[in-house]
Structure 1
Amino acid sequence: MLVSNQAKVVVIGLDCAEPTLVFEEWIDELPHIKKIMDTGSYGRMRSSDPPITVPAWASMMTGKDPGQLGFYGFRNRNSYDYEDMRLTDSTSLVEPTVWDILGKRGYQSIILGVPPSYPPKPIKGNLISCFLTPDHSVSYTHPPELKEEITDRVGTYQFDVKNFRTEQVNELLDDIYQMTQIRFETAEYLLQHKPWDFFMMVEMGIDRIHHAFWHYMDEKHVLYTDSTYKEAIRKYYQYVDGRIGELLACIPEDAHIFIVSDHGAKRMDGGLCINEWLMREGYLKLKNKVDEPVPLTSDMIDWNKTMAWGFGGYYGRLCLNVKGREPKGIIPKRHFESIRNELISKLKQIKDEQGNLLETKVFKPQKRYKDVKRIPPDLIVYFGDLYWRSVGSVGNNTMYVYENDTGPDGANHDYHGIFISNTRPVYAKDADIGRLHLMDMAPTLLSLFKIGKRKKMRGVNIFNEPSLYARIKKRGP
């Protein structure tokens, strides 16, 4: 039964918000965020593996890891055919979210831009889909008529910026501000005009501005140049803090408030060309020599002489060509683990151009996740402790590049995002409660509605777990 005096719960998601910038460098310039930190609690919150938007938000809102969810990034293998890839969207998410569970108890939710929520699924309440939405020609709200209402009452909703990997950074900056403005105005409208018990929004602007402007801000960046854009990220954080202040004015004083991010950010020192490395080590063979950088496609590969190939992105994904599994597999199944272990050992020994170890981390999905559904990569790789991205193209004639091969991008993702709440756990000695895990959010949110932790959730209730304080202090990357 719905509790009539239930306090409302609010989650403000800031995709990619970086804890060092928020908690240390700029906190005195973010008065609305600082006020919540001073009166409540905050900490660094460990992201999912891999630490990227999809699957991180889904992991946060289900309490399940990517293996349990069955998707490991934006693009996943749909079958063992070489070209059969599937883009993640809301249909990929079959585990119940916080708002699904609340809806069954009669609670109303407002969900705005939480990935992956396109195409929109029915919920008890109102929903606007996320940045995966292709354009305004499709249905992107629940109920469907909410689409026209938002357009009439607020304006044209913006799912994302057109292209955050662009040289036209001045236009991009304007687009980021415009996107953030319309999204917060939409949030304020919904809070004021729709019934709700649980509200959650995700703003993508911080992620986009990090990728486009980090190298203008960070003097340690390999591409740093003194520019008028040096303060772009700082000023945008200040703007977002102001918008949060306006949003909070629409929320009851007794509401439980959270400000969170799905992962952090750090400078990108370079890109490791994963397929160039595999070719040099004898694991990947092309049919013909490639003299200029191009994306690797399956028709370029001599599968009869290839044991492994990889994908680019903020992290590396390696797939093995296994006999009886892939169409032209050559690795006998009995040798699968030995080849995988061999690759792990060699990947960890990769050095940069100066001869220093990159401190690369490699793991097997079966060892990292509670369960492994659908088809994961055979190995997941964090080059250079995430200071380096994975470059999937071939024809670079080098293992090392210092710009992104899919367009300008100055930042990579980092392991930890932010957690801020206006509530302080009973066990915490001070406001800084250390490093949490984003899977702790789902059981914590449910607990505020007096709903217990659901089956197979991996997280814990942040506010009522006596052992948590000791546990989180021991967590590493």
Structure 2
Amino acid sequence: MNRVLVIGLDSAPPSTIFDKYLDEMPNLAEIVEQSIRGPLRSCHPPITVPAWAVMATGLTPGELGMYGFRHRQKGSYQENYLVTSRNFNAKAVWDFIAVGGRKSLIVGFPPSYPPLTVEGWLISDFHTPSDAKNYTYPPWLRIEVERIAGRYIHDVEFRVEDRKPLMRELKEMTQQHLKVVEKLALTKKWDLLWYVEIGLDRLHHAFWKFFDENHPKHVEEDEFSDFVREYYKMLDEGIGRLRAAAPDAHTLIVSDHGAKAMEGVFVINEWLADNGYLAFEEKPESQTPFNKAKVRWDKTRAWGWGGYYARLFVNVRGREPQGIVDPEDVDSLLMEISDDLRKVKTPAGKSMGVEIYKPSDLYPEVRGDPPDAILYFGNLSWRSAETVGHGNWFLEENDTGPDDAVHDWDGIYLLYDPDGRIEPREERRDIYDVAPTILRIFGSEVEGMKGRPLIGGE
């Protein structure tokens, strides 16, 4: 029976995996030479949640009802909730293969906390609280994990000014993850092993400006740039050990989205306020979280959220407590905002390159609690800030802590067949192609998935 080893490298872009650090990664380089590989286009929006869930289900974020890490609570201006495994209700590839009696080992897949129930074994993702006692399925797996590696580290704080302790923490966390996955890979009788390493994403956000000479805020710091190189080498050694633990398995290395240098930050709510869409009782004069600002909701037509993309909400009459925009006027208001945003110039006098989409434009079905619009600035190069009180539409630094990188559309994929039945080639593919590819390897097909398999029925 075929087995599949999926190694998920969160935020890995073609620029580092296929170019900058490939010479430092002999195990990966060997796979590159023998695999189908190339850029993997992410989903709308290209965010960890929902992208991994998209990859595992073949469904769009709209069908999943996932639009980011947090969603707005219906009927509220300020309340929101974190997207967790409780919001992950669609069938994933491990559910489909379980029907045939196959078992899966899932480690770090987002969102999987509280622990998803699977036919097999699971360690939950980076959103797991650091003091959580229940982070595995079955629950007793935690005892085994901690016998292998001690207290399990799900994530690190990466938006910090002092990056030196972060180097140690990232290394310790990733080495622990690799040790646990390798041990479980050797001792469990699995058919699908899907492991996601969040450490690479944290590395990129914290250290990108130190190794990217083209970063607008590039800093020459050998200690940090050397650490990035060593981290990639450490990942590669781990990839080699995982492949050795499952030499008979198809190996699929994937990332949910890419990464690139952050140009700066666009302060969406400052702009909305200055252009008459958002009103304050008293406008803050220093940086203030938006949920702490005194908003005149009876005079506000729209407001926004920050992040690697912006979410826009319309104050709709009959939907919001103090809604003032008639439902039939929502589309025209979004068009007005879009037209006004497209006139905005960056501090360098260039067009910001605004893209604005309604969820219904992007997805065949829109479930859950979507924003009224999804906005991208500068082809994702500009992050969105939700805070107010800056007195400026643009910031050089992230408003919620140091951050050197933003997300990019293209992640990566490599598919290796241990029996040599795949013709090595480079090919651009789509995140929706991953789930049907895994099922094809297992000899299964599922109707309704958007993508197409990377391989034939061999």
What's the TM-score bracket when you normalise by the shorter of the two chains?
over 0.9
Change (3 A) 1:146 1:323: same
Q: Which amino acid aligns with 1:203?
A: E
Aligned to 2:333: 339
Aligned match of 1:179 in 155, 170, 173? Answer: 173
> What RMSD over aligned residues (CA atoms) do the two structures have, in Å?
1.8
Q: What is residue 86 of structure 1 aligned with on the other side? A: 81
Alpha-carbon deviation of 1:65? 0.9
Q: Which residue of the partner structure matches residue 142 of structure 2?
A: 147
2: CA distance between counterparts of 1:135 and 1:226? 34
Specify whether residues 105 and 427 from structure 1 end up closer, same or farther in structure 2 by C-alpha distance, changes over 3 A only.
Answer: closer
User: Map of 1:421-440 to 2, 5 A cutoff?
Assistant: 421-423=415-417, 431-433=425-427, 435-440=428-433
Output one character per residue of 1:111-170: Cα deviation in whole Å (capped at 9) or x when no partner.
000000000122111100000100243300011001011111332221111x10001211
Shift of 1:427: 12
Segment of structure 1 superposing worse, 25-34 or 172-181: 25-34
Counterpart of 1:295 in structure 2 is 289
Q: Could you tell me how far apart the structure 2 residues matched to 1:379 and 1:428 are? A: 41
User: Between Structure 1 and Structure 2, how many residues are aligned?
Assistant: 456
Q: AA paired with 1:458? A: K
Partner of 1:403: 397
Closer/same/farther in 2, CA of residues 202 and 291 from structure 1, 3 Å limit: same
> Are 2:35 and 2:423, in contact at CA under 8 Å, matched by a contact in 1?
no
Q: TM-score, normalised by structure 1?
A: 0.93
Report the equivalent of 2:324.
330
- Structure 2 CA distance, aligned partners of 1:83 and 1:456? 36
Pairing of 1:343-422 with structure 2 (within 5 A): 343-422=337-416
Query: How far has the Cα of 1:385 moved from its partner?
Result: 0.9
Which shows bigger deviation, 305-314 or 226-235? 226-235
Alignment of 1:26-425 (within 5 A): 26-161=21-156, 163-228=157-222, 229-252=224-247, 254-297=248-291, 300-423=294-417
Give distance in 1, aligned partners of 2:406 and 2:397: 12
User: 1: distance between equivalents of 2:279 and 2:21?
Assistant: 49
Q: Separation in 1 of the partners of 2:342 and 2:96?
A: 42
SS at match of 1:187: helix
Query: Is the 8 Å Cα contact of residues 41 and 423 (structure 1) preserved in structure 2?
Result: no
Aligned partners of 1:135 and 1:428: how far apart in 2? 42
Which amino acid in structure 2 is aligned with residue 71 of structure 1?
A: M
- Aligned equivalents of 2:112, 2:314: Cα separation in 1: 31
How far apart, in 1, do the equivalents of 2:329 and 2:198 lie? 43
8 Å contact kept, 1:222–1:402:
no
Between the aligned partners of 2:231 and 2:148, the Cα distance in structure 1 is 26
What 5-or-longer segments of structure 2 have no aligned partner? none
Q: Conserved in 2, the CA contact under 8 Å of 1:306 and 1:321? A: yes
What is the DSSP-based 3-state SS (H/G/I as helix, E as strand, rest coil) of the residue aligned with 1:300?
Answer: coil
Amino acid at match of 1:403: E
Superposed displacement of residue 89, structure 1: 0.5
Give me the whole-angstrom Cα distance separating, in 2, the residues matched to 1:437 and 1:40: 16
Matches within 5 A, 1:4-43: 6-43=1-38
SS of the residue corresponding to residue 310 of structure 1 reads: strand
Letter of the 1:50 partner, please give it: P
**Which residue in the other structure is 1:471 paired with?**
none
Which secondary structure does the structure 2 equivalent of 1:297 belong to? Answer: helix
Q: What is the CA-CA distance between 1:247 and the residue it aligns to?
A: 1.5
The CA distance in 2 between the partners of 1:413 and 1:389, in whole Å, is: 9
**Residue by residue, what CA displacement relative to the aligned partner does 1:283-340 show, whole Å, maximum 9, x if unpaired?**
0001112110011117611011100000010101100001111111101112111111
On the 8 A contact 1:82/1:298 being kept in 2, the answer is no
1:459 equivalent in structure 2: 451
Unaligned 5+ runs, structure 1: 1-5, 466-477
Code of the residue aligned with 1:121 in structure 2: it is: L
Q: How far apart are the structure 1 equivalents of 2:161 and 2:189?
A: 43
1:221 positional shift: 2.1
State the TM-score, normalizing by the size of structure 2: 0.96
User: How far 1:460 sits from its partner (Å)?
Assistant: 1.2
Question: Could you give the per-residue CA deviations for residues 271-293 of structure 1, whole angstroms, max 9, x where no partner exists?
Answer: 00000000111000011121100
The secondary structure found in structure 2 opposite 1:202 is: strand
Q: Aligned partners of 2:77, 2:411: CA distance in 1, in Å?
A: 34
The whole-number CA distance in structure 1 between the counterparts of 2:361 and 2:12 is 28
Conservation of the 8 A alpha-carbon contact between 1:293 and 1:396: yes
Map Cα deviations across residues 322-375 of structure 1 (whole Å, 9 max, x no partner): 111111110111211111111122222321012210112211110011210012
Q: 1:391 to 1:101 in 2, by over 3 A?
A: same
Q: Are the aligned partners of 1:83 and 1:298 in contact in 2 as well (CA < 8 Å)?
A: no
